[in-house]
Each structure stands twice: as structure tokens, then as C-alpha cells.
Amino acid sequence: MKFFVDTAEVKDIRELQDMGLIDGVTTNPSLIAKSGRNFKEVIAEICAICPGPISAEVVSLDADGMIREGRDLRKIASNVTVKVPLTLDGLKACKTLTGEGAMVNVTLCFSANQALLAAKAGATFISPFIGRLDDIHQDGTELIAEIRQIYDNYAYETEILAASIRTPLHVKQVALIGADVATCPPAVIKALAKHPLTDKGIEQFMADWKKTGQTI
């Protein structure tokens, strides 16, 4: 499974990229606002740090506006992935932009039928938001499983990009189901390395090593 990091914080992206832990980056208007940075400048900087797909979201709500913004965003760098919302206009923009060779991430997906339409429109990635479904007492991981089955039934090539991931458990669940990508906040990616028995084991080894009086 590929890991994308869901942030517009350049410092975090550089750190995870240097560690070899990420294959791409996703941003959205909320994350750009949180960074306090100029949208196009920060996307250009991220594209230079990570060679994988970098999602940059359009803000127009009509297809023509999305297509215009998508074309403009693609001029920033060749790894820009245009992110469009899952609306009929978004699907129309997806069809046009992928026809021009763009990578398109269709976002704000909350149902299997929406994902089916995104695949038909030629989306490169579909982003089902699992945490936001959990927030309203629905099982977000169930949606990932449904989309996996539907895409496999018809050999759709659209990649399932599990988004709105909040916990390490979400990561394990979507990996078991077979999501192609998980996009996670930096803290969730780092938390995957943590285990209390690892910490306890290190503590024990260090204490025993000290008793030997040796150095390496």
C-alpha cells in the first residue's frame, strides 16, 4: 500500500520524504488555510520535495471553472494531481482533465455509487473519507471494502485512496481491505512505528548492556 501524507506543512513532508515513508501528498483548502502559505507557492515547494502525486484542490464549483483551475494548477509541476469534488460538475471536469493527460483525484466520496461514477469518469484516484463517516456513526472502512469489491468486479483502474484517516487502526483496516493508498496526517504515519513493548524492550536491552561495561 502506498502512503500519502495529508498536510501542507513543508517541514513534515520533507522529514517523511527523507525517511522514505511517503509516496505522495494530499492537500485541501482547509490544510492550505492552516499552513498560512500562498497556495501555488506551497504546492510548487511540495512538488519539488516529493516526486509522487501531489493533490491540489480546485475551488470552483462549476465544471468550466474547475477545468480552468485544473489546467492552471498543472502548470506548477508535472506531478500535480488535480483534486475535484464528487459532484456532477466535478465528474465532468474529471473526464476532461484526464482526457488531457492529467492525474485527477476525486474527493469527498461517501458512497460506493459515487466511487463507481468516479471510476467511469476516468479518475486516477477516488478519495473516500472514512473518518468523517465514523463521525456520523457509519463504518468508514465498510465503504472502502465495498469500493474495493466493485472496482475488482469490473477491473476499474482507479486507485482507492483512503482519506480522512485518523488513527493507526484505520491504516491497518484499509490495508487489510486492499486500499491502494492511505493518506494520513504526519502524526498518524509516525504513530505506526510505536509499540509499548518496543519501548520496554529497548529499555531492558539498554539496562543489560550497561552491566557489560562495554562500548561499540
162 forms part of the interface with ligand G3P (CB under 6 A): no
* Residue facing ligand G3P at closest CB distance: 164
105 forms part of the interface with ligand G3P (CB under 6 A): no
6 forms part of the interface with ligand G3P (CB under 6 A): yes
Return the range that interacts with ligand G3P (CB under 6 A); candidates 17-25, 125-133, 187-195, 205-213: 125-133
User: 83 an active-site residue?
Assistant: yes
141 forms part of the interface with ligand G3P (CB under 6 A): no
Secondary structure (3-state) at 42: helix
159 forms part of the interface with ligand G3P (CB under 6 A): no
Return the range that interacts with ligand G3P (CB under 6 A); candidates 10-18, 127-135, 168-176, 208-216: 127-135
Angle among Cα 81, 84, 86 to the nearest 5 degrees reads 135
Closest CA to 126 of 140, 111, 141, 142: 111
Q: Are 74 and 56 in contact (CB under 8 A)?
A: no
Q: Are 140 and 106 in contact (CB under 8 A)?
A: no
Applying CB under 6 A, which of residues 44, 132, 146, 178 lies at the interface with ligand G3P? 132
Residue with cell 515547494: 45
Handedness of CA 71, 76, 82, 88 (dihedral sign): negative
Least distance (Å) from ligand G3P to the CB of residue 16?
A: 15
Half-sphere exposure of 213 (CA within 13 A, CB side): 0
Least distance (Å) from ligand G3P to the CB of residue 107?
A: 6
Q: Helices marked H in 36-185 — which ranges?
A: 39-49, 63-74, 88-99, 112-120, 130-135, 140-154, 168-177
Question: Which lies closer to ligand G3P via its Cβ, residue 70 or residue 140?
Answer: 140
131 forms part of the interface with ligand G3P (CB under 6 A): yes
9 forms part of the interface with ligand G3P (CB under 6 A): no
Closest CA to 79 of 108, 45, 107: 45
Q: By rule CB under 6 A, what count of residues binds ligand G3P?
A: 10
Catalytic: which of 83, 92, 95, 120? 83
- Which spans of this chain sit near ligand G3P (rule: CB under 6 A)? 6, 26, 28, 129, 131-132, 163-164, 166, 183
**Residue positions annotated with a catalytic role:** 83
